[in-house]
Structure 1
Amino acid sequence: MRVTLALPHELGQAEVSRWRALQEADTAFDNPFLSPEFTLTVGELRDVVRVAVIHDGPDIVGFFPFERHPLGIGKPVAAGLTDAQGLVYARGVRIDPLRLIKACGLSVYEFDHLVAGQPLLNARHERHPSPIIDLRDGYDRYTETLRANSGKTYKSTLAKQRKLDREAGGVRHDYGITDVEPLRTLLGWKTDQYRRTGRTDRFAHKWIVELVERLLATQSESFAGVLDMIYAGDEPVAGHFGLRTRTTLVGWFPAYDTRFAKYSPGLIQHLAMAEQAAKTGVQVIDMGRGQKEYKDKLKTGEFEVAEGRVARASAGAGVHWVVRVPVRKTRATVMANPLLLKTADKALKTYGRLRTVLQG
């Protein structure tokens, strides 16, 4: 194994094409966060992004995108935003994870959404479910499954959509929007949601807003930003921005106008999105790791992602352990305990309400 390092913009067209070919050759890598276009776009905005190009003799057999931070701390590209992380590589190639991170100049590489089957993965790493909507047999088959497993949710969502149609004007769904103005409306709802629930507002960072806008403008057969919105009359009600490959759409930023909350607009939007996505060839909607009620209601299966780190014996890895690992283990304990999770969520929402009042 030989590793060369590059900034994303230094990759040539042949290398990008090879990355895409390796990705499309294995369904385990069928996620837009693992696409070259995602890393290239983030690299335009973040000078910490690197790509390790892995060679076996004269052949390129893998790509490892990552961010390199002080003390040799390595993180996934756009860490904290991505729901799929890891290498894209040729199956059958043996990759030593410690040799790899050493070649990358890293003391440690941490991750929280490492996809299955990675050479970075070991038995100590924590596994988590990533709920999916399976559309491989079409939207009608999906709704049959939904009726069988979540019949009450499906019927009530359709009833609320009819009520919204009657009371607020004709309901329509626009899928695959490329206009930036609806996106900004959606991001405004998402900012309000972050503040209301006590979470950090990701869109307070200008580079994240710029990233999302650039990804919306990226439209090709193998990779695209996908924006869809639900309207009642001319009024935007709910929407979602995600990314897709040819066959996988990832859930990323769903949000809705809280004035329409009684109609369950998020569920209406997700069902409409699934129907239109299936028509365009999408086979799986990956809703991403995280316990959310709407995911439990809509899912038909799960993928698995892992959380942990790969570390070499070094001072940087030691500092990273002290700063990060106890916090991660505490969070995992809270997430695994329904009572603790409910208490923490309630505390965050209380903090969000207080913050809103003080800022108002």
Structure 2
Amino acid sequence: MDITVYRPGELTAADRAAWAHVQSQAVAMGSPQLGNPFLSPGFTFAVAHHHRGVRVAVVREEGEPVAFFPFQRSAAGVGRAIGLGLSDCQGLVHRPGFQWDARELLRACGLAVWEFDHLVEGQKPFEEGATGTYASPVMDVEHGYEAYLGHLRSHSPKFVRTTLAKERKLGRDVGEVRYVHDERDVGALRTLMGWKSAQYRRTGRSDRFARPWIVDLVEHLFHTREESFSGLLSVLYAGDRPIAAHFGMRTPAVLACWFPAYDPQFSKYSPGLVLHLRMAEGAAADGVAHLDLGRGHKEYKESLKTRDLTVSEGWVTRPHPVALGHRARRAPVRALRNAVTAHPVLREPADRFLKRVGRLRAGAR
């Protein structure tokens, strides 16, 4: 393989255009999983703007780029997927039929190990290092919103009936319900981040928006508007008041759902579910094939999904002491987390405990 590693700023406009073309070509040729926004050059460039150590390996055949591998690298040679911990889709973007050797790729990138937690399906050279596979639910809207809603009605009629009734009640009680699929008001984005930050604290989770670089990254993506990639803020209003919002990213084929939140004052109306149905309608009108809800068991995802994709976590390694040390340090943490999240008998008490911690935090302020 002819592999060259670049800093993102060293990639030319032609390189970026080739990356987007390879991504769209893969989608057109039956690999829709490669159309995810987290695999786009736009996401990699945004992360590089706010985080150190971002690199892109470009694989060429006969001088033409056939694959792009974005990653983050430490000085010791530990590699991580771009945005590990934030990204819901990871891997190598390649032309249909391209094959590669994982260890040869790592060697060219100067990596002893490459860690992933949302590896896209079909990456066999990397999948050999997977330690587990997990469902990642999606909402299919390729055939239009009415077809999607029809699917939900046939599988979960009570869910659809109840959610639409709550939307009508929200309109009667609060004011006319209005949805903006592509909201350009940065103030609405900051409202969303405030809601999400409060939700993290309330449920005992780590507050991502307490990290300035993540706030800056989201605002950077909000202002990113490219033909093949953009940030997307969607807002549900009632009586001109924002009730729920979501920020994610989209390519022509996929809307990646990322940060949904709502004003808890209106929780009885299930505004998050209403918002997601409106997002499905807006995405279908834009020609999107599916909304990717991301890995993780959540009741709302089970209600909204039409099917599951599969993502993997693990690491690929070369024989190297750095790889052995990294894996020995990370494996027990992953095993414990996955054991808790995989089993309701463990997950539900853990959720209750985290919410109790959140209440204690709130009371301490």
Coarse TM-score class (shorter-chain normalised): over 0.9
Deviations 1:177-207 (A, max 9, x none): 1221100000000000000011111111111
Equivalent AA in structure 2 for residue 227 of structure 1: L
Q: Number of residues paired by the alignment?
A: 359
Which residue number corresponds to residue 302 of structure 1? Answer: 308
Aligned-partner Cα distance in 2 for 1:8–1:107: 21
Aligned-partner Cα distance in 1 for 2:258–2:342: 23
Deviations 1:201-237 (A, max 9, x none): 1111111111111111111221111111111112111
Which residue number corresponds to residue 164 of structure 2? Answer: 158
Higher mean C-alpha deviation, range 90-99 or range 345-354: 90-99
Deviations 1:151-175 (A, max 9, x none): 1111111111111111111111111
Deviations 1:238-291 (A, max 9, x none): 010010001210100000000000110100100111111111111100100011
Which of 127, 135, 140 is 1:134 aligned to?
A: 140
Which residue number corresponds to residue 298 of structure 2? Answer: 292
What is the root-mean-square deviation of aligned Cα atoms in Å? Answer: 1.1
Shift of 1:84: 0.5
The question of 1:247 aligning with 2:257 is answered no
Tell me if structure 1 keeps the 8 A contact 2:178–2:240: no
- Percent identity of paired positions between Structure 1 and Structure 2: 49
The question of 1:233 aligning with 2:242 is answered no
Which residue number corresponds to residue 264 of structure 2? Answer: 258
Which residue number corresponds to residue 76 of structure 1? Answer: 81
Which residue number corresponds to residue 35 of structure 1? Answer: 40
Which of 329, 346, 353 is 2:335 aligned to?
A: 329
Which of 97, 101, 110 is 1:96 aligned to?
A: 101
Aligned-partner Cα distance in 2 for 1:72–1:272: 44
Shift of 1:123: 7.1
Shift of 1:56: 2.5
Aligned-partner Cα distance in 1 for 2:63–2:284: 40
Tell me if structure 1 keeps the 8 A contact 2:170–2:177: yes
Aligned-partner Cα distance in 1 for 2:185–2:258: 18
The normalised TM-score by structure 2 is: 0.96
Instruction: Write out aligned runs for 1:1-360 (5 A).
Output: 1-26=1-26, 27-118=32-123, 119-122=125-128, 124-358=130-364, 360=365
Equivalent AA in structure 2 for residue 20 of structure 1: A
Higher mean C-alpha deviation, range 141-150 or range 312-321: 312-321
Shift of 1:125: 3.3
Unaligned runs of 5+ in 1: none
Q: Indicate the SS of the match to 1:71.
A: coil
Higher mean C-alpha deviation, range 198-207 or range 251-260: 198-207
Tell me if structure 1 keeps the 8 A contact 2:129–2:316: no
Equivalent AA in structure 2 for residue 88 of structure 1: V
Aligned-partner Cα distance in 1 for 2:128–2:69: 17
Equivalent AA in structure 1 for residue 122 of structure 2: G
> Where does structure 1 differ by over 6 angstroms across 4 or more consecutive aligned residues?
none
Aligned-partner Cα distance in 1 for 2:49–2:338: 33
Shift of 1:124: 4.7
Q: Indicate the SS of the match to 2:76.
A: helix
Aligned-partner Cα distance in 2 for 1:314–1:283: 42
Higher mean C-alpha deviation, range 334-343 or range 131-140: 334-343
